[in-house]
Amino acid sequence: MDTKSFFEKSKKQLNILNKKGWLANISSYNNEYICPLCLNKFTAEQMDELSQEDAPQDKLGGKRIALTCKKCNNTCGSSMDCYLINRIENYENSIFIPGTKRDVKVKVADKTFNGQLEVCSDGRMIMTNSFKQNNPTLLSEYMKQLAEDMALSIENKNKKVDDTRLSVALLKNAYIILFAKFGYTFLMDELYDTIREQIEKPDSEVVPKLWKITTERMIPDGVYLMSDCDGFLVSYTIKKNIEYYVLVAIPFPNVSFDEIVAYLTTIGPNKPMTLKKITNRDYWQDESAIELLRKEIFLEKGV
């Protein structure tokens, strides 16, 4: 879907919600696009200030599923997304996956050289050293001394990682997936101001870390209702060379994060989580679907 189509789709839903009096947090609406991250408004003439958003990140196998303002998109990329990508790359480099290459440091005696290590599909490893990345004179001497039984020390060049910021990247992905599924139906509620604040301040802990990541798939990707607790469970996959499965819990508008934390601590072998898959109705344009969803999550019959 192109930017204009995203814009028009969102405008239609916003007008439905505005007519019903369901547009929380917005004092007036006049056919603008509202960025789901910062809630700033953009007219059709300002469409070039908007950007399509990948969730999960494009480098981790994600697709463009939403529209945010360019400022939010660019800020998230540099303030949190890169740390999640770096964490995955660092981990995969540490386990020598066949068919991969990575930059490394090679130590021979008391000298260190830059190189590239390739892990072949048959288990062989090929080291390449470039004169451009090293002192040519020292590298030439090193190459002359190479012998079959020579001991080499190889160190991966790990990229910078910030666990707090990558945690927010996982939350942001889930929030955008919710937005892509439901639009503005309930995400404008003030409870989600705390999630937006967390995304705006990725170096702080505004909300608790309600996510889990594993290499074993537990449930298919999608959005689920936690039947024993008033909240969503968002399941999605990220991938470089290996697939990782992410679960993120997000409360309903009238439920606190502390209540979700308390519920999750009770889950165990003797008390499994009960989930209900969200149906594939059109929650953007179908007024009856929007109304039923609001009744479900606000727990108010007749809303």
Residue 303 has pLDDT above 70, yes or no: no
Q: What is the pLDDT of residues 199-219, one digit of tens each?
A: 999 999 999 999 999 999 999
170 and 127 co-located in one domain? no
173 and 217 co-located in one domain? yes
229 and 255 co-located in one domain? yes
* Mean pLDDT computed over 75-98: 95
Q: How confident is the model at residue 228 (pLDDT cuts 50, 70, 90)?
A: confident
Q: Percent of the chain at pLDDT above 70? A: 98
169 and 67 co-located in one domain? yes
Last residue of a domain, one of 156, 171, 191: 156
Nearest to 198, CA basis, from 210, 207, 189, 190: 207
Residue 274 has pLDDT above 60, yes or no: yes
In Å, what is the CA distance from 93 to each residue of 87, 96, 102, 118, 239?
A: 10, 6, 7, 10, 14
Determine, yes or no, domain membership for 184: yes
216 and 118 co-located in one domain? no
Determine, yes or no, domain membership for 131: yes
Which structural domain, as residue segments, surrounds residue 139?
Answer: 93-156
Whole-prediction pTM = 0.91
Residue 252 has pLDDT above 90, yes or no: yes
186 and 289 co-located in one domain? yes
pLDDT of 115: 87
286 and 263 co-located in one domain? yes
99 and 232 co-located in one domain? no
Contact 192, 39 (CB under 8 A): no
Give me the residues paired with residue 214 across strands: 245
117 and 247 co-located in one domain? no
CA distance 168 to 174: 10
Determine, yes or no, domain membership for 303: no
Q: 276-280: which pairs have CB atoms within 8 A and are 24 or more residues apart?
A: 276/224, 276/225, 276/227, 277/222, 277/223, 277/224, 278/181, 278/222, 278/223, 278/224, 278/225
Last residue of a domain, one of 156, 174, 205: 156
168 and 238 co-located in one domain? yes
Determine, yes or no, domain membership for 262: yes
The 3-state DSSP class for residue 224 equals: strand
* 161: Cα separation from own chain's centroid: 15
The CB density around residue 73, as the number of other CB atoms within 10 Å, is 19
Determine, yes or no, domain membership for 192: yes
Last residue of a domain, one of 132, 156, 180: 156
Q: How confident is the model at residue 1 (pLDDT cuts 50, 70, 90)?
A: confident
- Tell me how many domains the chain contains: 2
How, if at all, do strands 100-108 and 153-156 pair?
antiparallel
Ordered DSSP codes for 36-102: TTT--EE-GGGGGGEEEEESS-GGGT--EEEEEEHHHHHHHIIIIIHHHHHHHHHHHHHTT-TTEEE
42 and 181 co-located in one domain? yes
46 and 189 co-located in one domain? yes
